[in-house]
Structure 1
């Protein structure tokens, strides 16, 4: 039995569709249920940000999570496969009339990704003050809380609607299949079998 941690929402649906295509049975969670057992798999419906923790701690053998989350958490897991789902970018956003001014002694950045932000600006030898927010991040530069934001951008529509533009792209992200390091030793055959089946389907 493999325990699989999936992020709530579209990525989970797309991943279960992959399982359905591979194994022929429909894989679907019952309404509001957080676990589902089917065949040799037990699926756990988990908040996206918590998936690295579930997999690192061994509560799940494998998981599906965005590369941005892996980078932010610096998760100690095996990265097995880019599933090419949920493609997006981590970008710096600023007001339409502004420029990103690296000459300032410190740039104020509002974000829910402090580690990615710090690491990126460290490569630019630029000091940043991180303002940690959990939602409505686009509001921060508009009301003067920050000079810029670092956030996930899929289409850029939300930024445009709020008078912001992308100043720089930090990284590309998409959903990755990851594994617990110990599980990969103990359940190596099961995990590799699944890996090859998914890889054959998507590539």
Structure 2
């Protein structure tokens, strides 16, 4: 691999296919990437690039410390980890929603506008994979909560008395319904983002920005324009 080759970190799992499709449409010859699920690095000599396959939650770390020049990662992961990276594009796929949910038998009262009154949740416990996001959300409302960090099966926590509520990301809401949980507060929507190492972005500006322009044009052709430029976390 040449020293000036561009290293691109992509997430393993459900986002990998969409990430590769977008890069192929942008002109990278990466049809062979992911054919062997055990292989984690793929050289693209004709494109002067290399793709590395990472756990989605590790991608901001690889990019922040320069092991990868750019990466594809969910906005949910960016918010929670708060790594020092440059956010370049909203890639518009991998859509999910942050929300707060509670058991249907212990819902808070409704306000006049139809929303739930969250004031009674002050000083309560919230089970979540995203404690930083949970703290930010409730702090903005002048509330204090105790986040309980879990790595999976968040929906179980209110059913066994571990927490009064959960904060998680959802796509269809099916798991919530199966566990008799109701959304009581939407927080934000999240999609996949293109991020860059700040030093790499300056040193390889033309190349990275050229790829951004191609991807942005592709998204606009699909009828869903992406915002360009560097955004601060």
Alignment match, 1:16? 20
Distance (whole Å) between structure 1 residues aligned to residue 139 and residue 28 of structure 2: 48
Change (3 A) 1:57 1:24: closer
Alignment match, 1:191? 208
Greater share of residues in strand: 1
Task: Identify the match of residue 77 of structure 1 among 75, 85, 90.
Answer: 85
Distance (whole Å) between structure 2 residues aligned to residue 19 and residue 136 of structure 1: 33
Task: Identify the match of residue 62 of structure 2 among 33, 41, 54.
Answer: 54
**1:28 maps to 2:33:** yes
Change (3 A) 1:98 1:43: same
CA contact (8 A) 1:16 1:27 kept: no
Number of aligned residue pairs: give it: 203
Distance (whole Å) between structure 2 residues aligned to residue 104 and residue 37 of structure 1: 51
SS at match of 1:166: strand
Unaligned 5+ runs, structure 2: 109-117, 221-233
TM-score (norm: length of structure 2)? 0.84
Distance (whole Å) between structure 2 residues aligned to residue 124 and residue 24 of structure 1: 45
SS at match of 2:52: strand
Q: Whose radius of gyration is greater, 1 or 2?
A: 2
Task: Identify the match of residue 6 of structure 1 among 10, 27, 39.
Answer: 10
SS at match of 1:103: helix
Task: Identify the match of residue 165 of structure 1 among 171, 175, 182.
Answer: 182
Distance (whole Å) between structure 1 residues aligned to residue 207 and residue 26 of structure 2: 14
SS at match of 2:37: coil
* Aligned-residue CA RMSD (Å): 1.3
Distance (whole Å) between structure 2 residues aligned to residue 24 and residue 189 of structure 1: 16
